[in-house]
Protein backbone atom coordinates (compact mmCIF):
# COMPACT_ATOMS: atom_id res chain seq x y z
CA UNK A 1 0.00 0.00 0.00
CA UNK A 2 2.99 2.31 0.36
CA UNK A 3 3.02 2.67 -3.43
CA UNK A 4 -0.43 4.33 -3.22
CA UNK A 5 -0.37 6.97 -0.48
CA UNK A 6 -3.78 7.80 0.92
CA UNK A 7 -5.40 4.56 -0.25
CA UNK A 8 -7.46 2.90 2.49
CA UNK A 9 -6.91 -0.84 2.91
CA UNK A 10 -10.37 -1.59 4.29
CA UNK A 11 -10.08 -5.15 5.53
CA UNK A 12 -13.45 -5.85 7.14
CA UNK A 13 -12.01 -8.70 9.20
CA UNK A 14 -9.58 -6.29 10.87
CA UNK A 15 -12.47 -3.99 11.71
CA UNK A 16 -14.48 -6.97 13.04
CA UNK A 17 -11.68 -7.70 15.51
CA UNK A 18 -12.29 -4.28 17.07
CA UNK A 19 -15.77 -5.36 18.20
CA UNK A 20 -15.97 -6.96 21.61
CA UNK A 21 -17.13 -10.58 21.56
CA UNK A 22 -16.28 -11.17 17.91
CA UNK A 23 -14.71 -14.55 18.74
CA UNK A 24 -17.90 -15.91 20.31
CA UNK A 25 -20.33 -14.28 17.87
CA UNK A 26 -18.51 -13.96 14.57
CA UNK A 27 -21.69 -13.43 12.51
CA UNK A 28 -23.12 -10.96 15.03
CA UNK A 29 -19.93 -8.93 14.94
CA UNK A 30 -20.13 -8.99 11.16
CA UNK A 31 -23.61 -7.45 11.29
CA UNK A 32 -22.23 -4.65 13.46
CA UNK A 33 -19.16 -4.11 11.29
CA UNK A 34 -20.85 -4.04 7.88
CA UNK A 35 -22.43 -0.56 8.30
CA UNK A 36 -19.23 0.73 9.92
CA UNK A 37 -17.20 -0.47 6.92
CA UNK A 38 -19.69 1.11 4.50
CA UNK A 39 -19.42 4.43 6.35
CA UNK A 40 -15.60 4.24 6.28
CA UNK A 41 -15.66 3.39 2.58
CA UNK A 42 -17.92 6.29 1.70
CA UNK A 43 -16.12 8.83 3.88
CA UNK A 44 -12.79 7.97 2.32
CA UNK A 45 -14.13 8.00 -1.24
CA UNK A 46 -15.91 11.32 -0.69
CA UNK A 47 -12.54 12.71 0.34
CA UNK A 48 -11.32 11.89 -3.18
CA UNK A 49 -9.20 8.94 -2.14
CA UNK A 50 -9.15 5.29 -3.19
CA UNK A 51 -10.28 2.26 -1.18
CA UNK A 52 -9.22 -1.35 -1.55
CA UNK A 53 -11.35 -4.01 0.14
CA UNK A 54 -9.38 -7.27 0.23
CA UNK A 55 -12.42 -9.34 0.97
CA UNK A 56 -14.19 -12.38 -0.36
CA UNK A 57 -17.82 -11.41 -0.75
CA UNK A 58 -19.73 -14.66 -0.88
CA UNK A 59 -22.92 -13.37 -2.43
CA UNK A 60 -23.97 -11.03 -5.18
CA UNK A 61 -26.01 -9.13 -2.56
CA UNK A 62 -22.78 -8.27 -0.71
CA UNK A 63 -21.07 -7.19 -3.92
CA UNK A 64 -24.11 -5.10 -4.89
CA UNK A 65 -24.14 -3.44 -1.45
CA UNK A 66 -20.48 -2.40 -1.75
CA UNK A 67 -20.93 -1.30 -5.36
CA UNK A 68 -23.99 0.77 -4.49
CA UNK A 69 -22.23 2.42 -1.54
CA UNK A 70 -19.26 3.19 -3.77
CA UNK A 71 -21.42 4.76 -6.47
CA UNK A 72 -23.43 6.71 -3.85
CA UNK A 73 -20.11 8.24 -2.77
CA UNK A 74 -19.53 9.37 -6.36
CA UNK A 75 -16.78 6.88 -7.11
CA UNK A 76 -16.24 4.11 -9.61
CA UNK A 77 -16.33 0.44 -8.63
CA UNK A 78 -13.94 -2.27 -9.85
CA UNK A 79 -14.21 -5.89 -8.81
CA UNK A 80 -11.16 -8.14 -9.09
CA UNK A 81 -10.76 -11.83 -8.44
CA UNK A 82 -7.30 -13.18 -7.73
CA UNK A 83 -6.71 -16.82 -8.47
CA UNK A 84 -4.16 -18.78 -6.45
CA UNK A 85 -3.53 -22.38 -5.58
CA UNK A 86 -5.24 -23.54 -2.38
CA UNK A 87 -2.12 -23.43 -0.20
CA UNK A 88 -1.31 -19.73 -0.64
CA UNK A 89 -4.61 -18.20 0.57
CA UNK A 90 -4.77 -20.64 3.49
CA UNK A 91 -1.21 -19.76 4.53
CA UNK A 92 -1.94 -16.04 4.16
CA UNK A 93 -5.13 -16.36 6.26
CA UNK A 94 -3.25 -18.20 9.01
CA UNK A 95 -0.47 -15.58 9.03
CA UNK A 96 -3.01 -12.74 9.24
CA UNK A 97 -5.00 -14.47 11.97
CA UNK A 98 -1.84 -15.06 14.00
CA UNK A 99 -0.68 -11.45 13.53
CA UNK A 100 -4.09 -10.11 14.58
CA UNK A 101 -4.22 -12.36 17.63
CA UNK A 102 -0.83 -11.07 18.76
CA UNK A 103 -1.75 -7.44 18.15
CA UNK A 104 -4.99 -7.80 20.14
CA UNK A 105 -3.34 -9.33 23.22
Mean of pLDDT values over 4-16: 92
- 61 vs 93, residue with greater confidence: 61
The C-alpha angle 93, 94, 100, rounded to 5 degrees, equals 90
pTM of the model: 0.76
Mean residue pLDDT of the chain comes to 88
Residue 12: phi, psi to the nearest 5? Answer: -60, -35
The whole-number pLDDT of residue 101 equals 65
Domain ranges of the chain: 8-79
**Banded model confidence at residue 104, pLDDT cuts 50, 70, 90:** low
Amino acid sequence: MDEHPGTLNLDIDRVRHLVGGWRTDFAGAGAIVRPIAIAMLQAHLRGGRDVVMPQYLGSTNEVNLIESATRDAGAGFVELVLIANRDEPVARFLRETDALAHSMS
